[in-house]
Amino acid sequence: MTPDILLDAAQALVAAARRAGATAADAVGRADRSQSVSVRLGALEDVDRSESVDLGLRVFVGRRSASVSSADVSAGAVRELAERAVAMARHAPEDPYAGLAPEEKFARGPFPDLDIADDTDLSPQTLRERASAVEDAALAVAGVANSEGGSAGASRSVAALATSTGFAHAFEGTGHSLSASVIAGEGAGMQRDHAARSTRHLADLPDPHEIGRLAGTRAVARLDPGGLAGGPMPVVFDPRVSASLVGHLLGAMAAPAIARRASFLLGREDESLFPDDLSLVEDPLRPRGMRSRAVDGEGVACRPRALVENGRLIGWLTNVASAAQLGLPLTGHAARGTGGAPGVSPSNVDLVGGSGSVDDLIADIRDGVLVDYLIGQGVNGVTGDYSRGAAGRRIVNGRIEGPVAGFTIAGNLLDMWQGIRAAGDLETWRAVNAPTLRVDGMTVAGS
């Protein structure tokens, strides 16, 4: 489905809602097409192809609202969906904060070309060849004994938003991916690891052999893990997992969580969270970015900004409802699915300001641990308490030594961020990116 066709369907849904009695309405459309091929030990394991189209409608009758969604875009279904939504809204409780973005806050075109759609079309045979290549490269690493498979995929998505106040915009984006997961060793000593990469354009995706070799090397590096003694020690987060610390911050910065008083950042506006050499920046207009977008889920323009500047928290990530409840401006962070009310989500976030090499960062650590694998979701969003299972490598006298596993790291995110130190190895190909990070004094519970 093309962006124009999907946008026409969304606008038709809004018009039907107004005819049914809605005082205001907005509609979102989503069309997805994807295919993937998986192989295991050289044999074809799975071929998957999916196509879907969904429409979501949110209607307002005064201060009452309701949301419905459907995969049927026929004229009769659109009319029935609109009538049902308006009937539901008339029985809903009033919400003094929900509504559409004011017209003066709407993004205005022409919109920037974010270059997030690739015209390359891969056949199932080509995907199979790429999946085989990534797995073969992983199996070729000495010490790899088995495979959980290699896969290659390609997707195309179209999104549209239309409102009864006149906003209308649609865009499309593509994705390409490669991954491999393999097992090193045998019996009780087996260890598994993986490598994966996703990009907007096929040309930006690393060679399958590079990804496969990385998966195999990672698995072999985990063989014969030792244990760790418990106690406080420096913990160094590899870029594979360091971005998760940024993710916890972004969740706590969401204005809906602040409005519910369910964030450990409550009352900390404008405080210094990080050392003053670190900043957290967002660029939703990054060409070929994994979360690039010119417009948020409510039609408000997205723009590059600092979320944390020189260590200081700048503010919250808002949508219309949370901004109204907290008396804050709209920040262009609304995120929409085809069902329910908008949430919030940032776009292309980087923790910047680190310098020096990883060797420099760990040079004075006599006894510590480099973490490159985290287990569980042990983070309390209200208190900031942090506790997760982990695996990685020992750090002894400033050098990275053998593998360790079966331990837990714990602390409080506010304390962790205050003393965090960053290396200069930032890469920006993920949606959220952070360099190697060092946190001193975390509590490690060993085996």
- Which of the four pLDDT bands, split at 50, 70 and 90, describes residue 432? very high
- Which of the four pLDDT bands, split at 50, 70 and 90, describes residue 447? low
Cα gap 56→403, rounded to integer Å: 49
Residue 133 has pLDDT above 80, yes or no: yes
Mean pLDDT of 216-222: 97
Mean pLDDT of 29-45: 97
112-127 as b/e, with b when 16 or more CB fall inside 10 Å? eebebbbeeebebeeb
Residue 440 has pLDDT above 90, yes or no: yes
**What pLDDT is attached to residue 378?**
86
- Which of the four pLDDT bands, split at 50, 70 and 90, describes residue 282? very high
236 beta partners: 370, 438
Secondary structure of the chain as H, E, C letters: CCHHHHHHHHHHHHHHHHHCCCCEEEEEEEEEEEEEEEEECCEEEEEEEEEEEEEEEEEEECCEEEEEEECCCCHHHHHHHHHHHHHHHHCCCECCCCCCCCHHHECCCCCCCCCCCCCCCCCHHHHHHHHHHHHHHHHCCCCEEEEEEEEEEEEEEEEEEEECCCCEEEEEEEEEEEEEEEEECCHHHCEEEEEEEEECCHHHCCCHHHHHHHHHHHHHHCCCCECCCCEEEEEEECHHHHHHHHHHHHHHCEHHHHHCCCCCCCCCCCCECCCCCCEEEECCCCCCCCCCCCECCCCEECCCEEEEECCEECCCECCHHHHHHHCCCCCCCEECCCCCCCEECCCCEEEECCCCCHHHHHCCCCEEEEEEEEECCCECCCCCEEEEEEEEEEEECCEEEEEEEEEEEEEEHHHHHHCCEECCCCCCCCCEECCCEEEEEEEEECC
Give 407's Cβ-side CA count (13 Å radius): 30
pTM of the model: 0.94
Dmax (CA) for the chain in angstroms is: 73
Cα gap 117→115, rounded to integer Å: 6
* Contact between residue 425 and residue 212 where contact means Cβ atoms under 8 Å apart: no
Pairing, β 24-40 against β 64-70: unpaired
Cα gap 37→106, rounded to integer Å: 41
**What pLDDT is attached to residue 340?**
87
Locate 323 and state its tokens. Answer: 């901004």
Residue 377 has pLDDT above 90, yes or no: no
307 beta partners: none
* Annotated domain spans of the chain: 3-220, 225-447
Mean pLDDT of 152-164: 97
- Which of the four pLDDT bands, split at 50, 70 and 90, describes residue 270? confident
Residue 189 has pLDDT above 90, yes or no: no
3-220 architecture in CATH?
2-Layer Sandwich (3.30)
59-116: pLDDT as tens digits: 999 999 999 999 988 888 899 999 999 999 999 999 999 999 999 999 988 999 999 9
Mean pLDDT of 51-65: 96
- Which of the four pLDDT bands, split at 50, 70 and 90, describes residue 187? confident
Cα gap 238→367, rounded to integer Å: 17
Mean residue pLDDT across the chain: 96
Burial of 210 (0-12, 13-18, 19+ CB in 10 A): middle
Mean pLDDT of 268-283: 95
Locate 216 and state its tokens. Answer: 């195999």
Which residues are within 8 A (CB) of 358 and not within 5 positions of it... i.e. 6 or more apart? 236, 423, 425, 436
Mean pLDDT of 267-280: 94
* Contact between residue 163 and residue 14 where contact means Cβ atoms under 8 Å apart: yes
Cα gap 295→333, rounded to integer Å: 9
Kindly state the percentage of the chain with pLDDT values over 90.
Answer: 94
Locate 217 and state its tokens. Answer: 């090397």
Locate 296 and state its tokens. Answer: 């948020």
